[in-house]
Structure 1
Amino acid sequence: MSRQPVDVLIRRVDPEVPLPSYGHPGDAGCDLVTTEAAELAPGERMVLPTGISIALPDGYAAFVHPRSGLAARCGVSMVNAPGTIDAGYRGEIKVIVVNLDPRESVRFERFDRVAQLVVQQVERVRFHEVAELPGSARAEGGFGSTGGHAAVGNGFASVACDREGQ
């Protein structure tokens, strides 16, 4: 069953910026570009403008995700991935990128794709304080409770597990 697209109002802060677009049919995220050239040294982070602002309908939020190609090829990620754009926000969307490569700088040119924007319907909740929560199969099992790295001999994970037991 195909759903109808959600109408989102968009304003170009930079009149030359291309509108966000999907790379392929069925993609969840549309590409966001930067409007400024920039160079990120190893370990450096910066805020890149995208040249757009949006008005989402109530009940929706947009999430800014890193691009997997930038991560794989250049070691670029986002400090606050995913970044959250609430329905009431009307300012320019900006992307906080970080260069995780230990040796190489990364250069961005104007209109390079730097992130993906995913728009999703979100639920409002009412919190009800209780003295005890109902039980579940997982209970209070949190970080590492299903195994993972410690199970395959990762020394760091083993150290972390040892510290938890102290």
Structure 2
Amino acid sequence: MNVRIVNKGSLRLPEYKTPGASGVDLMANLNEPVILKPLERYLVPTGLFAEIPEGYEAQIRGRSGLAINNGISLANGIGTIDSDYRGEIKVILINLGTEPFEIKHGDRIAQMVLCKYEKIDFELVEELNDTERGKNGFGHTGL
């Protein structure tokens, strides 16, 4: 599968860093550094525009090193880029840490994973089939 990319930034294309990697790093495409204060959000441009094949989505995920070392996460948990979107890929970062965090041009800020999906049809019914679990949720199995 090929994903067509337009690169309007000064950074290299996304690449897999190891043979077993499922995601590619996205980098900040900034004219000047940005200081992200605690609990502040910022929409970070990447300079990349992608043509994702129909039947696929790109999931934007946080980087574990940024999360554990600096408290930097994605404000929306996981971002989704649909196959019909043609705008710039941007990443909503949030600083959940206690110290300001500097984002510089070229910093690896997130990962992008391409995932195949299927569209489904929804059927309106009066009730659902029973299961052993039933309505139990939200911690019903304990810690």
Q: TM-score range by the shorter chain?
A: over 0.9
Corresponding position: 1:51 with 2:80: no
Structure 1 residues without counterparts, runs of 5 or longer: 1-5, 149-166
Q: Is residue 13–residue 92 contact of structure 1 (8 Å, CA) maintained in 2?
A: no
Q: Give, in whole Å, the separation in 2 of the partners of 1:54 and 1:146.
A: 42
Q: 2:108 aligns with which of 105, 113, 118?
A: 113
How far did residue 81 of structure 1 move? 1.7
Cα deviation for residue 106 of structure 1 reads 0.5
Secondary structure in structure 2 of the residue aligned to 1:116:
strand
Task: Provide the C-alpha distance between the structure 1 equivalents of 2:121 and 2:79, rounded to a whole number of angstroms.
Answer: 23
Normalised to the residue count of structure 1, the TM-score between the two structures is 0.82
Partner of 1:9: 4
Counterpart of 2:95 (choices 89, 99, 115) is: 99
C-alpha separation in 1, matches of 2:141 and 2:109: 34
Please give the alpha-carbon distance, in whole angstroms, between the structure 2 residues aligned to 1:123 and 1:139. 26
Higher RCO structure, 1 or 2 (CA under 8 Å, sep 6+): 2
Q: Output the amino acid matched with 2:34.
A: A
Deviations 1:93-118 (A, max 9, x none): 1000011112x111011010000000
Structure 1 residue 13: deviation in Å? Answer: 2.3
Alignment partner of 1:139 is 2:134: yes
Which whole-Å CA distance do the structure 2 matches of 1:17 and 1:140 have between them? 49
**1:42-82 C-alpha deviation (Å, 9 max, x unpaired):** 11111100110101111000000000000011110001121
The question of 1:89 aligning with 2:104 is answered: no
Size of the alignment, in residue pairs? 141
Cα offset, 1:133, TM superposition: 0.7
RMSD between superposed Cα atoms in Å: 0.9
The structure 2 residue matched to 1:79, chosen from 64, 75, 84, is: 75
Aligned to 1:158: none
Within the candidate set 94, 100, 121, 1:126 is matched to: 121
Aligned to 2:14: 20
Question: How far apart are residue 127 of structure 1 and its match?
Answer: 0.2
SS at match of 1:69: helix
Look at both structures and tell me which one has the larger radius of gyration over its CA atoms: 1
Higher helix share: 1
CA–CA separation in structure 2 for the residues paired with 1:44 and 1:64: 19
The unaligned stretches of length 5 or more in structure 2 are: none
Could you say what secondary structure the match of 2:66 adopts? helix
| Bigger fraction of residues in strand | 2
State the identity %.
Answer: 43
